[in-house]
Amino acid sequence: MLKCHSLTFSYNVSGTTQTFNCPECRTRTRVPLRGCSGFRDNVYLQELLDLQKQLPQQKYGQYFCENHMQPYLLFCEEPDCQLQMCAQCSVQHHQGHNLVDIENKASVIKQDLKGMKRDTKEIERIWNLHDVK
């Protein structure tokens, strides 16, 4: 569980008493003798995190695995797959497949697209030359 007041704050040291303003309720609060671990659990923040886990696509979009809440790190180059995946999916469903680093795959795709764009511009240029005559 998350501890209440576990957000970053600055101490106001006066003698041996350490106090700060709570970032949630703004009440002047003393730091427990055990430090941040002495604060009670913050149920509100925990509920927000639980809601976030239930709606992964709204926050993370296409960069995180829906099943494991892990970032996509690999791309399967098998003709029947052609999928991005997290490390856990690669172990569970893609053993023996040709897997590549997703950043490298993205770079290759970007270069391919630049080449296609260049070719398209050349084709348009040639096409326009024929239309003028």
In percent, the amount of the chain with pLDDT more than 90 equals 8
Between 48 and 55, name the one with better pLDDT. 48
pLDDT, residue 8, reads 40
The 10s digit of each residue's pLDDT in 82-133 is 889 989 988 888 889 999 999 899 899 899 988 888 888 888 888 877 765 5
Mean pLDDT of the chain: 75
Which pLDDT value is given to residue 101?
A: 92
Average confidence (pLDDT) over 62-77:
85
CA-to-CA separations, 31 to 17, 23, 28, in angstroms, rounded: 8, 13, 10
Q: pTM score, two decimals?
A: 0.46
Let me know whether 46 and 66 are in one domain: no
Structural domain boundaries enclosing 127: 62-132
Same domain flag for 29 and 80: no
- Residues 73 and 21 reside in one and the same domain: no
Please check whether residues 43 and 78 belong to one and the same domain.
no
Classify residue 68 by its DSSP letter: T
Contacts of 46 (CB under 8 A, 6+ apart): 1, 2
Average pLDDT estimate for 58-77: 77
